[in-house]
Structure 1
Amino acid sequence: MPAMAAEPMPPPAGDAAAAGMVDVRTLAPDVQVELRYAGSDNFTGAPVPGYEGGRCWLLRPAAEAVARVQAALRAQGLGLRIYDCYRPVRAVRSFMAWADGPDDPALKARWYPRVDKAALVPGYIAATSGHSRGATLDATLVRCGADGCAPLDMGTPFDFFDPLAHTGAAAIAPAQRDHRQRLRAAMAAQGLRNYPQEWWHYTLHPEPDPGTAHDFPVR
């Protein structure tokens, strides 16, 4: 989740267009988008502040890179399912507030069973995020056929806070490791670099706008 950099400038006013972001599905209509933070199926157990819709916004160079990844995967009968893209600063702040709160036993059992909540910061949750700059996304691979697309087994769910979610984790099955490496290779071919503690987390390098963090809502 974190992609830490220098302290960002104050969040500017505006919207996706003013920030130079585009909806990824305008460039790759067959990309699956399932923004987890717009609903309750996430580690907080509730919709996250700032998520008022389900569109994947990214800076144009990042969105174009994702579209190229999708095109290459399509030829292999695969595709991307995206769980998060641009993330408002208010959402990042809400994650930090959540991390300071008490454990919910059901959430802990599902999302971070072997890690103390206090240890989630800064490895998994951070005060600043590359997502707020619009060049970072969280994604997995899906295999597509006549009946639709189904996610490949990556060894852990998205946002599972555990060493098993590290991209190079040894204690996963060979097929799961192959799936992670296939995702990483497809992303790397288009300049999208993996965050090693999370197999799903990718950032375009070099970042087009590394000094800014935005706070307009996702709609």
Structure 2
Amino acid sequence: MKLITYCIVFLLYLPVHAQLVVTSSLKTYKNGVKKHPEKELIDIKKAIPGITLDIRYATTNNFMKEVMYPEARAFARKPVVEQLKKIQAELRKQGYGLKIYDAYRPYAITQAFYKKASDKNFVANPAKGSIHNRGCAVDLTIIDYKSKKEIEMPTPYDSFSPAAAANYKNLPPKAIRNRDFLINTMQAHGFKVLANEWWHYDFNGWQNYELLNIPFKSL
């Protein structure tokens, strides 16, 4: 009897791991938006017509070397898009603009990335989910608005090089200036750069948004 009691007490004190909650139901997502309008996923191009999209995962021009998205579209939560709109307007005054590589990413794509990627350090672990899955992360750079050409940055997008780090120093001065200009501009509007990816920015308060697995076609 004492042994049974001991075992019950032991089981009660075992660590409990919270199950990851991912919203896959379009109805559940829409009901959430009705209660909290700021949680709506907004089509970035429709909200900011002058912005440039280069959705690499809708092509084979990406580190996976295969098409991961069925459509070349970019979505983000409403407050994220509102800030991107302000950034775009600010850059336009200086002759620049934003180019978006990636934004909201359905959870199923994060699972596919992790399964197929050879280097797991550069992809989000599905066990935790990605901030892209929450619609609160954007991958982007700055372009010359007229020519649409990217300004010089430390590395190409999705580079696995150490030079991709946001504080890497052994670079041409112009690349450092441009990178820091982007980082400071984004930071002033509520974004934080990812330490090992100069192009990746997380929106402050991303913890308040749930993980989503809503496909682009449903949006």
Question: For this structure pair, what is the TM-score category when the shorter chain's length is used for normalisation?
Answer: 0.7 to 0.9
Give CA deviations for 1:139-186 in whole Å, capped at 9, x if unaligned: 0010122xx311011121100012110011112111001110111111
| Structure 2 residue 153 is the aligned partner of structure 1 residue 154 | yes
Point out which structure has higher relative CO (alpha carbons under 8 A, 6+ apart).
1
* Unmatched segments (≥5 aa) in structure 2: 1-17, 34-39
* 1:7, distance to aligned residue in structure 2 (A): 6.7
2:135 counterpart of 1:137: no
CA RMSD, Structure 1 to Structure 2 (Å): 1.8
Within-5 A mapping of 1:82-121: 82-99=100-117, 117=118, 120-121=119-120
- Secondary structure of the 1:193 match is strand
What is the CA–CA distance in structure 1 between the aligned matches of 2:19 and 2:180, rounded to whole Å?
31
Alpha-carbon distance, 1:125 to partner = 1.1
Structure 2: distance between partners of 1:218 and 1:165: 29
What is the SS of the residue equivalent to 1:67? helix
Q: Which residue of the partner structure matches residue 72 of structure 2?
A: 54
Deviations 1:14-62 (A, max 9, x none): 18x83611111222111101111111100111101xx221121000000
Mean Cα displacement is larger for which, 18-27 or 163-172? Answer: 18-27
Mapped partners of 2:20, 2:88: distance in 1 = 30
Task: Kindly tell me the number of residue pairs found equivalent between the two proteins.
Answer: 188
Name the one with the larger helix percent.
Answer: 2
Task: Please say if residues 131 and 206 of structure 2, whose CA atoms lie closer than 8 Å, have aligned partners that are also in contact.
Answer: no
Aligned residue number for residue 175 of structure 2: 176
Residue ranges of structure 1 left out of the alignment (5+ in a row)? 1-5, 100-116
Which amino acid in structure 2 is aligned with residue 182 of structure 1? F
How far apart are the structure 1 equivalents of 2:92 and 2:215?
A: 31
Q: Which residue of 2 aligns with 1:25?
A: 45
TM-score, normalization: structure 1? 0.80
Determine the C-alpha separation between the residues in 1 that align with 2:137 and 2:20. Answer: 15
Contact kept? 2:164, 2:197, Cα under 8 Å: yes
Answer with 1 or 2: which has the greater Rg. 2
The runs of at least 4 aligned residues of structure 1 exceeding 6 Å deviation read none
Amino acid at match of 2:205: P
Secondary structure of 2:195 counterpart: coil
For residues 158 and 102 of structure 2, the distance between their equivalents in structure 1, rounded to whole angstroms, comes to 11
Counterpart pick for 1:81 among 96, 99, 108: 99
Question: Percent identity between the aligned chains?
Answer: 29
